Structure 1
Amino acid sequence: MKLNLQKTFFASLILLVSSFTWAQTDFQGVAHYMSKTSIDTENFGRPDMSEEQKKRIAERMKSMFEKTYTLTFNQTESLYKEDESLEAPGQDQGGRRGFGAMMSSSFTGGPEYKNVKTNQLLQEQEFFGKQFLVKDELQKYEWQMTGETKQIGQYTCFKATATIQSNAVGFEDFRPPRRGENEGEVEETKPKEPKSVDVVAWYTMQIPVNQGPADYWGLPGLILEVNAGKTTILCTKIVVNPEEKTIIKAPKKGKEVSREEYNEIVQKKTEEIRNNFSNRRGGGPGGRR
């Protein structure tokens, strides 16, 4: 009993000190994250492709699914931005790119701005050379606290879970339609339906701001780790009140669209190119014969 009271006391003391530190009007934090998305190789590539071929292609595409980001945040705002990196040699596969590589290289996510005070999300997106400004309300999460804890670096983190409906474009959309058993037969492209995604987040009350990486937010502390579907985002470093402060600016470039409108634009263009790509490969209209 005495030990539990001591733990409660020290936890409360840490939270009190943290709250005082982060209550400063000019405070700022910078968190670095690593994002990794796994690939389902079972449904990857041509039906006759060997496992070794699938592994080689997956390795070449590794840089597309392993990225690093920086989150700059204060009490009410944050800006989540992908770190710049040089393209690995041979990434273009000798000038010959498959459908997935072509689509992914034409799909660039820009800085993502969240304001928890105004409930606003802004993100620059570039798709096939066209610039869009996604403007919407913040994603709503009905977080469930589990009471579980774990340590991430020097921070004690608490587990929260939620389930969301998502119609965002994923890697499975970046492959051409599979051919049927009969020659020239191509699988039917079906409208993309929203799917349920289970989200597990780990947050720390030692940094009491309700911010997090990507779209994630709404917990009583900074989110340091997220597991959602096939994607894991993990915080690797945090700097509190850096000497050089960064002005958090909301993105402004591009045609203004909602998140739903942008997803529809991407889906429509993706389906169009998938069908054209399939026709070229299979001798359809305008394809090889």
Structure 2
Amino acid sequence: MKTSLKTLVITSFILLTTITISAQEFYGKAYYFSKSTMDLGRWGARLSEAQKKQVMARMKNRLQKTYVLSFNKTESFFKEDEKLDAMSGATDSWGKNFTQGDLYKNVKDNALAQSQEFYGKKFLVKDELQKIEWQMGSETKKIGNYTCFKAAALIPSDELTWYNFSWDRLRSNEPQTDSTGVVKQPEIKMTQVVAWYTPQIPVSHGPSDYWGLPGLILEVSADNTTMLCSKIVLNPEEKVEIEAPDKGKEINKKDYQETVMLKMQEFRDSRGRRRRS
């Protein structure tokens, strides 16, 4: 009975807010900052505390970032706030090959368009939005002036970082056999995602690839990274214009991943040949 009552309260809250806003043109900007932790592993265990702090300071521009999400009822545009990020220190030329580019999402058409640059070549990745099976709960908390509800989902880890690269992913993509020589199916790793959304802003948008809840996502945590909204501007005097990126070689997510993997495999093999010569 208590669960049903809570569900009814949430539903009524969402309906009331949606009816209030649905009659008017609606757009805005949400500002996020992200914080990530990094496990230094066995290598880190050999470092002094002072050395660990130096490593973390050098990695700050990777571990702490700021973003802007522009949105209307059906579209959103998510990008890193490069001006603020530049304050964190020197640019990371290697890391920029594997960071998320400008991302356009259209929840009505179930479509995304993301600009990516890999070693100087521009790509325009077009695909469907990542499907997310959210489990919505009744737990609430306040983020700024907004009442937020909790939701959780399990998402394939590779889908959350499809634009990224790791040597572990390259190794896992190589055929593995068991003791009898039979090729083993690769393990699909899943990531637990926890989001907090507010029905007071009834759009199905969120930072990065997250979307699909009955309210703007103000906080989301996945693996070792948390994104938190620090500021929201609704219906500013200057209308928010949202345009999808349109430059670069058009490709889908799967083909983009294969392109990156192939290039990095060639890079690894060429280094191995130079070492043997």
TM-score by length of 2: 0.80
**CA–CA separation in structure 2 for the residues paired with 1:222 and 1:153:** 13
* Equivalent position of 2:128 in the other structure: 137
What does the per-residue CA deviation read over 1:123-178, in whole Å, with 9 as the maximum and x for residues that have no partner?
00111101011111011111111211111111111000000113236888279xxx
* Equivalent position of 1:124 in the other structure: 115
* Equivalent position of 2:76 in the other structure: 78
> Which one has the bigger helix percentage?
2
* Equivalent position of 1:41 in the other structure: 40
* 1:246 Cα deviation from its structure 2 partner: 2.0
Matched-pair contact (CA < 8 Å) for 1:161–1:199? yes
Matched-pair contact (CA < 8 Å) for 1:122–1:135? yes
- Aligned-residue identity in percent: 51
* 1:53 Cα deviation from its structure 2 partner: 3.2
* 1:108 Cα deviation from its structure 2 partner: 4.7
**CA–CA separation in structure 2 for the residues paired with 1:205 and 1:125:** 32
Q: Which structure 1 segments of 5+ residues have no match?
A: 93-100, 176-187
CA change 1:56–1:218 in 2 (3 A) is same
* Equivalent position of 1:241 in the other structure: 235
Q: Which has the higher Rg, Structure 1 or Structure 2?
A: 1
Matched-pair contact (CA < 8 Å) for 2:100–2:163? no
What does the per-residue CA deviation read over 1:227-283, in whole Å, with 9 as the maximum and x for residues that have no partner?
011111100011111110121101111111111221222233334435555x59xx7
Matched-pair contact (CA < 8 Å) for 1:108–1:127? no
Matched-pair contact (CA < 8 Å) for 2:97–2:117? yes
* 1:102 Cα deviation from its structure 2 partner: 4.9
CA change 1:43–1:198 in 2 (3 A) is farther
Q: Which structure 2 segments of 5+ residues have no match?
A: 175-185
When the two chains are superposed, the root-mean-square deviation of aligned CA atoms in Å is 3.1
Q: Amino acid of the residue matched to residue 191 of structure 1?
A: N
* 1:216 Cα deviation from its structure 2 partner: 0.5
Matched-pair contact (CA < 8 Å) for 2:124–2:249? yes
* Equivalent position of 2:148 in the other structure: 157
Q: Amino acid of the residue matched to residue 129 of structure 2?
A: L
What does the per-residue CA deviation read over 1:58-111, in whole Å, with 9 as the maximum and x for residues that have no partner?
22111122111111111111111111226458736xxxxxxxx55313335321
Matched-pair contact (CA < 8 Å) for 1:35–1:66? yes
CA change 1:261–1:89 in 2 (3 A) is same
Aligned pairs, number: 255
Matched-pair contact (CA < 8 Å) for 2:32–2:228? yes
Q: Amino acid of the residue matched to residue 72 of structure 1?
A: S
**CA–CA separation in structure 1 for the residues paired with 2:269 and 2:42:** 18
Matches within 5 A, 1:1-289: 12=12, 15=14, 18-42=17-41, 52-85=50-83, 87=86, 91=90, 102-167=93-158, 168=161, 173=166, 189-191=171-173, 194-274=188-268, 276=270, 279=272, 284-285=275-276
* Equivalent position of 2:180 in the other structure: none
Mean CA deviation greater in 125-134 or 53-62: 53-62
